[in-house]
Structure 1
Amino acid sequence: MKRQPLAKTIAATCAGLGALLAINPAFAQGYYVDEQSALRLGDAFSGGAASASDASAAYYSPAAMLLVRDELAINVAAISVRSELKGSAETGDGSVPVSGDDAEADNLDFLPTLYFVRNLSEGFSAGAFINAPYATGTDFGDDSIARYQTTESEITGIDAGLSLAFRVHEKVSIGGSIIAQYMNAKTAVAINTAALCLGELDAATCGSLGIDPANLGSTTYDGTFVMEGHNTAFGFNLGALVEFTPHSRLGLNYRTRIAHELTGSATVEFPAAAETFTNLAGLESTKADGRVQFVTPETANISYFHQLGNLSLQADASWTKWSRFDKLQVESRNSTVAALASAPQVYDWNESQRFALGANYQLNPQLTLRGGFALDMTPIDKDKTKIDFAFDDYKAISLGMSYVLTEAMTLDVGYQHTMTQKRDIDQNDLATAGARLHGEVTTEVNSFAAGLRWAL
C-alpha cells in the first residue's frame, strides 16, 4: 500500500468539509436576519427606505432621518427556529444506513439593537446604529444522521455604523452610512473515517488497520472537523427620499457588498481506534490556521409610504445579490487541513427579490396598531438544496403595536409568524462526505421583539 494515493483519495472524499460557513436557515432568505427593529417587525418591514418611523432609519434608510425626531431606540428580538428532517441517510455504496438520531434542531436566539438619530441643524441629521443582521446558529448534534453534512454551525455578523442625511431640495433628501461589519463563524462536521477506508481498501485490509467494516454507518470511528474564523471589514449605505407631498413619499436605498477574509483555526480530531489507518493516510489530529473568502451581498430596495388620516400604507420591494454566495474555499498551510478542505463547497445561489405590504393605524393618541405581509423568494434551486439551507419561499405575517408611555417614551412590540416551509432534499455527498441525505426538511420560524424609544 502506498501512502500518497490513499491520502489523495481521502482528500477528495473529505472535500465537503471545506466549508467554513455551513450557515443554517436564517430568518429571512439567505443568512440575513430581518429582526432588527421591534416597530418594523410589526409591519413586516414594509416601510423600507420610506418609513421614517423611528431611529432605525439610521440603518434602514439614512436619507429619511430628517423626518425622525431626536431619538434613542433599543430593541431585543427573540427568534425561535425549528428545523427537522423526515428522511434517512446512507453511506458506503449508498446501501448502508447511517445510524443516529433524527436530524432536528430547536434554537432560540436573542438579538439586541441600538439606534440613535439627532437633527443637528435645518436639513442636516446624523445617526448611529449597532445591530446583528447576520446572526444564527443550529446544532444538529454529533449523533444525528446528518452529522457527515453538518453537526453544528454558528454565524454572528455585527454592524456598527454612522449615518448622515442632507436635504438637497425642499422635496429631496439624500443620506448614507459607513458600516463596520464584524463577522465570526463556526462550523463542525463529522468525518466518516470508516467510509474513507472502505472506499479505498478492501474490508479485510481495513479490519487489519483497526476499522471494522461492521461499524460502517455508526459513530465508532467518526472524526471531527471544526473551524472558526473572524474578520472586520467595511461597507456603506446610500439612499434618497422624495417627498411628493407631506403625506406621500418614495425611498431608495442601496447597501454595498462587504468582502471578508475570515481567519481563524481548524481543529481535526480522530479517535484512537482509527489512528493506524489515519497515520497511514497521512492525516493526524491537529489544530492549525485556516482562512476563507466570504462576502455579504449588496442589496437595493425601493419603498413607498402614504398617509390617509390615522391610517398609513407602506410597500417595499428589494433585491439581493445572493449569487455572491457561490462557493467557499478554505485555505491552510497545514497539510491535514489542506487535504480535508482541498475542494470548495459549492452553493451557487441566485439573485432574489423580497416584497412586503403593511399598514399602521393610530387608534388613539397613545396606541398605534400595525400589520404586514412579506414574501421573500428563495435564491436556492431545488437541485442545490442542502440540509443547511433547506428553505423555500419565505412567507410571513406580522402584527405589532406602539404605545406612548410618557411624552418622551414609547413602547414598541412586534410579532412575526413564518408559514411552515417544506423542502425536499437529496444531498448526495457519497463522493465527498461519504454519505447521502434525503427526505423532507420542515422549518418553522416565530419572532418576537420589544423595544423602547426615548425622545431626546
Structure 2
Amino acid sequence: MCRSVLKVFLTGMCCSLVMLILATGTVQAAGFALMEQTVKGLGNAFAGGAASAEDATTVYLNPAGMTLLSGQQISTGLHVIKTSFKFSNSGSTHALQPITGEGLTGYNGGNAGTWNFVPNLYYVNKLNDSWAVGLGINVPFGLTTDWGEGWVGRYYAVKSSIMTLNINPSVAYQVNEKLSIGAGVSVMYMKGEFSQAVDYGTIFNLLGGNPQRDDGKVTLNADDWGYGYNLGVLYQFNHTTRVGISYRSQVDQNLTGDANYTFNNEVTKNKVAAMIAASPYSTWFQDGGAGSSVTLPDSATISLFHQLNPKLALMADIGWAGWSSLPELRIVFDSSQPDSTTTLNWKDAWRFGAGATYQYSDKLKLRCGAMYDQTPIPGPEYRTPRLPDQDRLWTNLGASYAMTKQMSFDFGYSHLFMLGNGDINQAATGENATRGGLTGTFDNTGNIFSAQINYNW
C-alpha cells in the first residue's frame, strides 16, 4: 500500500516538475549555466559537490557517489532566484550621428532581471553492494533578461530567454572499498527566444527612412533536442576523506523555428514595407524560418570532502567550464537575408569554492560556504545586454533538518556580489553598424532562496 501511494506521489511529482521546468528561465552561474542543482550544495557554495554524495542529487553532481547511498532515495528541490540587471548609459553613439547629431536614443532599461523558479528531481536505487542506478530531471542552463522595447540598447537586445530540460539516467559501480565509478546520459531539450529592435530608418535612410524612429522588432523562437553524457569517479582515502572528479560533455543544439517581424503601429509598418519594396532587398525582413546552432559547454569538477571530527566537515572545489565553445550567437534566416551575428569570443572559465558543515544536534546541520566564479566574457567590447555577465563572489548559508529517519529538509540562501565593473563598450562598426555603439555600465546582483525535501526507504 505504502509503495503504491509512493509511486502515485512520484508520478505526480514528475509531471508537476516537468510543467514547472517548461515555464522556467533564469541565469545565475557564470555564462548561463545553472549551478542550482542541490540545496545542500547551495548551503556550502557547492564546494565538495562531486565528493560529498549526501543525497540523491549526486546523480547530477557525480554519479559515482550513488554507491555511498543506501536503499532508495528521492530528493526534490526548488530554487527561487531574484536577478537584477540595471544599465547606465554613458554616451552611446549612432552610426549616423555625424549627420544627424543624435546618439542612441532611449531610456536606460529599468531592471531587466526577474523572479525565476528552478526545480529539480533526483532518484537513486542502491541495487546491491556494488551497483546503483539513478535518474535526474533538472535545468542545467537558463537565461532571462528583458529590457523593454524603448531602451537605449534595443537594437542589441530586447528579450533573451533560454530554457532547458535535462533528463539524466545514470549508473554507478563500486569497484572496491575505495573506488567507485559512474556514468550517465543526458537527453536535453532547449528552447530559446531572442528579440531585438530593427532600425529600418537607418537601413533605408537613403529611401526616406527616419533613423531611430522607423523601428520594428524581430523575434526568434526556436527549439531542439540534444544529447550528451557525464562521467564520475569517487575515491575514498579512508572513512573521513574522499575526492571526487566529474565531467559533463558538450551538447550540440541546432535550434530551428521562426522569425517574426512586428511594428509599433500600422503607419510605420506600411512605410517600412514601401521602403523594402523599393530596395534591392525585397525578400529581407519577412516572417519565415530561422535558427541558431549552439554548442553548450563541457565542464569538469574536482572536489574534496574531509570529516575533520564528528561535528565538523570541510569541503573544497575547483570547477572548469569550456565556454570557448560559444564564439558567437548567429541567427540564420531561411530567406536571403544576411545572418544576424553577435560576436561573443567567450573564454573558458574557472570557479573555486570552500565550505563547511557543522552537526549542531542529532537533527540539525548548519552549512556555510563561499565561491569565486569567473565570467567567460573577455572584456567590455564583448559584453552584451543579452547576458551582461561579470565575475562574482557567492556567499552562502544553509541548514538541514532530519524530521525522521526517512525524511529530511534542506534550506539554503545565497547572495551574489559582482566583482570588478560591468562596463560595455560596443563600437558602431561591423555587425553593429545599424545597432549603434552601446557604451555604459551594468549593475548586477542576485539572491537565491532554496528548499529541498529528501525521502529514503
Scaled by the length of structure 2, the TM-score of the pair is 0.87
> For 1:261-410, what aligned pairs fall within 5 Å after superposition?
261-270=254-263, 271-281=269-279, 282-283=281-282, 286-308=286-308, 309-335=310-336, 338-339=337-338, 341=339, 344-382=341-379, 383-410=381-408
**Whole-angstrom distance in 2 between the partners of 1:84 and 1:416:** 20
Q: Write the deviation string for residues 27-52 of structure 1: whole angstroms up to 9, x where unpaired.
A: 11111011122111111110221010
Tell me what 1:437 maps to. Answer: 438
C-alpha separation in 2, matches of 1:327 and 1:233: 19
Alignment match, 2:93: 90
Aligned-pair CA distance for 1:327: 1.7
Q: Per the alignment, do residues 434 and 179 of structure 1 end up closer, same or farther by CA in structure 2, a change over 3 Å counting?
A: closer
Q: Secondary structure at the match of 2:324?
A: helix
Is the Cα contact below 8 Å between 2:26 and 2:162 reproduced in 1? no
Structure of higher RCO (CA pairs closer than 8 Å, 6+ residues apart): 1
- Counterpart contact for 2:96–2:202, Cα < 8 Å: no
Kindly provide the CA deviation profile for residues 268-289 of structure 1, in whole angstroms up to 9, marking residues without a partner as x: 2352232221222334653211
Give the whole-Å Cα distance in 2 for the aligned partners of 1:135 and 1:330: 19
Of 82-91 and 276-285, the range deviating more from structure 2: 276-285
Does the 8 Å contact 1:117/1:127 carry over to 2?
yes
**Correspondence 1:108 to 2:115:** yes
2:218 counterpart letter in structure 1: F
State the shift of 1:99 in Å: 2.7
Does 67-76 or 430-439 show the bigger shift?
Answer: 430-439
**Alignment counterpart, residue 175 of structure 1, candidates 168, 178, 182:** 182
SS at match of 1:118: strand
One-letter amino acid of the counterpart of residue 378, structure 2: D
Instruction: Tell me if structure 2 keeps the 8 A contact 1:82–1:105.
Output: yes
Deviations 1:181-235 (A, max 9, x none): 111111000001111123xx2xxx51xxxx3x4xx33xx3111111011111111
What's the counterpart of residue 427 of structure 1?
426
TM-score by length of 1: 0.87
The C-alpha deviation readout for 1:236-288, integer Å capped at 9, x for no partner, is 11111000001100101111111111111111235223222122233465321
Aligned residue in 2 for 1:78: 80
CA distance in 2, matches of 1:192, 1:60: 45
Distance 1:285 1:380, change over 3 A: closer
What residue is the counterpart of 2:57 in the other structure? 56
Residue 67 of structure 2 corresponds to residue 66 of structure 1: yes
1:452 matched residue in structure 2:
453
Contact 1:254/1:300, CA 8 A, preserved across alignment: yes
In the alignment, the residues of structure 1 paired with residue 142 and residue 385 of structure 2 have an alpha-carbon distance, to the nearest angstrom, of 18
- 1:232-247 matched pairs, under 5 angstroms: 232-247=225-240
Are 2:241 and 1:248 equivalent residues in the alignment?
yes
Shift of 1:430: 4.8
Give the letter for the 2:55 counterpart: D
8 Å contact from structure 1 (residues 25, 390) kept in 2: no
**Preserved CA contact (<8 Å) 2:95 2:428:** no
CA separation in 2, counterparts of 1:48 and 1:36? 10
CA contact (8 A) 2:372 2:394 kept: yes
CA 1:154–1:346 in structure 2 vs 1: closer, same or farther (change >3 Å)? same
Once residues 105 and 244 of structure 1 are traced to their aligned partners in structure 2, the CA distance between those partners, rounded to angstroms, is 48
Q: Which amino acid aligns with 2:50?
A: A
Q: Which moved more, 1:344-353 or 1:165-174?
A: 344-353
| Matched-pair contact (CA < 8 Å) for 1:25–1:391 | no
Structure 1 residue 191 corresponds to structure 2 residue 198:
yes
Separation in structure 2 between the aligned mates of residue 237 and residue 42 of structure 1, nearest angstrom: 24
Q: Distance in 2 between matches of 1:228 and 1:329?
A: 14
| Partner of residue 42, structure 2 | 41
SS across alignment from 1:273: helix
The one-letter code of the counterpart of 2:422 is R
Answer yes or no: is 1:120 the counterpart of 2:134. no
Determine if contact 1:116/1:128 at 8 Å carries over to the other structure. yes
Q: Which moved more, 1:320-329 or 1:388-397?
A: 388-397
- Look up the equivalent residue of 1:49 and give its one-letter code: A
**In the alignment, what sits opposite 2:163?**
156
Task: Map Cα deviations across residues 87-124 of structure 1 (whole Å, 9 max, x no partner).
Answer: 14332434413332222313110011101111001111
Q: Which moved more, 1:24-33 or 1:363-372?
A: 24-33
Structure 2 unaligned spans of 5+: 1-24, 264-268
Q: What's 1:5 paired with? A: none
* 2:216 equivalent to 1:223: yes
> Given residue 98 of structure 1, which amino acid in structure 2 is its aligned partner?
L
Task: Give 1 or 2: higher strand fraction.
Answer: 1
In the alignment of these two chains, the number of paired residues is 415
CA deviations over 1:355-405 (Å, ceiling 9, x no partner): 110010110011000010011112211132222232221211000001112
Hey, what's the Cα distance between the residues in 2 that align with 1:225 and 1:156?
A: 20
Tell me if the contact between 1:293 and 1:329 (Cα under 8 Å) persists in the aligned partners: yes
Q: Which moved more, 1:325-334 or 1:178-187?
A: 325-334
Comparing 441-450 and 92-101, the one that deviates more = 92-101
Tell me if structure 1 keeps the 8 A contact 2:64–2:181.
yes
